[in-house]
């Protein structure tokens, strides 16, 4: 049998030429492109498989060692903050173990050793807390102050931010911000003193009323109006500082949206309702969740300074209740149990409020 030495391609070409159907240039070019694509596809598939195994980032997964080497500068910058959080926030949490003990700090000169030597009593301290009527009275006062501040105090920074944002002159806006920010840097001692000089029995209002024949005005010692006085003090001190976050959110809104709405005939109220408030909605939801988490923290120093003036019935909240029982009576286990209850309730409120924010379509404190 004789073997032909003519290549296969040429033999096919000759055969087709004899039959009168020579291959066109497009067909031969298409075959070349197809073979090139298949070869390139095989090569790229091998490269992808190799890169996926090495974890060089093409597959979206980066190894821990690579990330540590890449972000080592940022990690070193966060180390001091992490140490501060550990020392002042997480390590003290271990002290909550005294809530399950009959803690006696005089068992040893070292507080840690005294904690180890104190007898365990289980949930006895929690039973004492729940059976104490003064505890429930402090809880009631706490929630009353929280709801008042949520309704009367929380919307004010939003309104002030909208007001300042509507001011066109930068100099007037900067002056208004400085005036509103200033009380935030005052201590509560100074704030209470200022209110005493205005609303106290010897204050400006009382003296003015006395000059016109009226006497007996002393808002600082009135237990009935004390909750409104506390809310007014919080508004005066911290409302200006609270508008910073809302102004930052408003600065991210493009002016083109306002110009387009104005060209469509929207007035100022329409622009605020359809552009400004939707831009503030995520920030409002976030701050509302955080505020709900602080529902049981309504101002320890502020209320402690005015406790003697109005009495514990009007000013006793959970923070002052824990401090008063832990320091005055030196019942540290009892105070730790009450504080632990407060922390658990606060955490529960944050989780519930964050879930509600998710149901409303907002991110909240963390994503789903």
The number of beta carbons lying within 10 Å of the beta carbon of residue 326 is 17
- Is the Cβ–Cβ distance between 340 and 324 less than 8 Å? no
The mean pLDDT value of the chain amounts to: 79
Torsion sign across C-alpha atoms 52, 53, 57, 62: positive
Give the whole-angstrom CA distance, residue 276 versus residue 240: 19
> Rounded mean pLDDT of 297-313?
85
Looking at per-residue pLDDT, the higher value among 270 and 57 belongs to: 270
Give the whole-angstrom CA distance, residue 274 versus residue 231: 31
* Token duo for residue 264: 């469509």
- Is the Cβ–Cβ distance between 296 and 124 less than 8 Å? no
pLDDT band with cut points at 50, 70 and 90 for residue 60? low
> Rounded mean pLDDT of 208-216?
81
pLDDT tens track for 343-352: 888 888 888 8
Backbone angles phi, psi at 101, to 5 degrees: -130, 170
pLDDT tens track for 2-13: 444 444 444 444
- Is the Cβ–Cβ distance between 318 and 138 less than 8 Å? yes
pLDDT tens track for 320-347: 888 888 878 888 899 899 989 988 888 8
User: CA separation (Å) from 127 to 100, 121, 132, 135, 334?
Assistant: 11, 11, 9, 12, 10
Task: Please give the share of the chain, as a percent, with pLDDT higher than 90.
Answer: 9
Buried/exposed code over 11-50 (b: 16+ C-beta within 10 A; e: otherwise)? eeeeeeeeeeeeeeeeeeeeeeeeeeeeeeeeeeeeeeee
Q: Which of 27-36, 147-156, 206-215 has the lowest mean pLDDT?
A: 27-36
Quote the pLDDT of residue 255: 79
Give the whole-angstrom CA distance, residue 71 versus residue 226: 52
The number of beta carbons lying within 10 Å of the beta carbon of residue 209 is 14
- Is the Cβ–Cβ distance between 25 and 19 less than 8 Å? no
């Amino acid at each position: 049998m004789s073997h032909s030495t003519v290549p296969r391609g040429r033999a096919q070409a000759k055969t087709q030429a004899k039959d009168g159907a020579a291959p066109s240039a497009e067909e031969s070019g298409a075959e070349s492109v197809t073979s090139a694509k298949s070869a390139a596809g095989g090569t790229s598939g091998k490269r992808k498989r190799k890169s996926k195994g090495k974890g060089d980032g093409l597959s979206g997964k980066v190894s821990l060692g690579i990330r540590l080497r890449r972000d080592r500068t940022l990690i070193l910058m966060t180390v001091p903050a992490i140490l501060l959080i550990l020392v002042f926030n997480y390590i003290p949490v271990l002290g909550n173990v005294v809530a399950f003990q009959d803690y006696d700090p005089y068992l040893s000169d070292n507080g840690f050793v005294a904690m180890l030597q104190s007898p365990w009593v289980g949930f006895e301290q929690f039973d004492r807390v729940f059976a104490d009527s003064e505890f429930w009275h402090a809880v009631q006062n706490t929630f009353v102050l929280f709801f008042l501040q949520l309704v009367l105090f929380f919307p004010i920074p939003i309104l002030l931010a909208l007001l300042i944002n509507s001011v066109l002159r930068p100099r007037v806006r900067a002056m208004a911000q400085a005036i509103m920010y200033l009380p935030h840097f005052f201590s509560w001692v100074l704030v209470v003193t200022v209110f005493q000089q205005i609303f106290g029995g010897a204050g400006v209002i009382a003296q003015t009323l006395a000059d016109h024949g009226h006497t007996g005005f002393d808002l600082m010692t009135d237990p009935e109006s004390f909750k409104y006085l506390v809310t007014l003090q919080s508004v005066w001190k911290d409302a200006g500082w609270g508008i910073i976050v809302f102004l930052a959110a408003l600065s991210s809104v493009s002016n083109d949206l306002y110009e387009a709405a104005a060209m469509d005939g929207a007035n100022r109220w329409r622009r605020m309702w359809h552009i400004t408030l939707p831009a503030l909605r995520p920030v409002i939801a976030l701050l509302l969740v955080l505020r709900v988490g602080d529902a049981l923290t309504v101002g320890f120093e502020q209320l402690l300074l005015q406790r003697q003036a109005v009495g514990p019935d009007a000013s006793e909240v959970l923070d002052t209740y824990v401090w008063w029982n832990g320091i005055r009576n030196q019942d540290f286990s009892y105070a730790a149990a009450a504080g632990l209850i407060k922390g658990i309730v606060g955490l529960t409120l944050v989780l519930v409020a964050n879930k509600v924010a998710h149901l409303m379509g907002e991110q909240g404190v963390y994503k789903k």
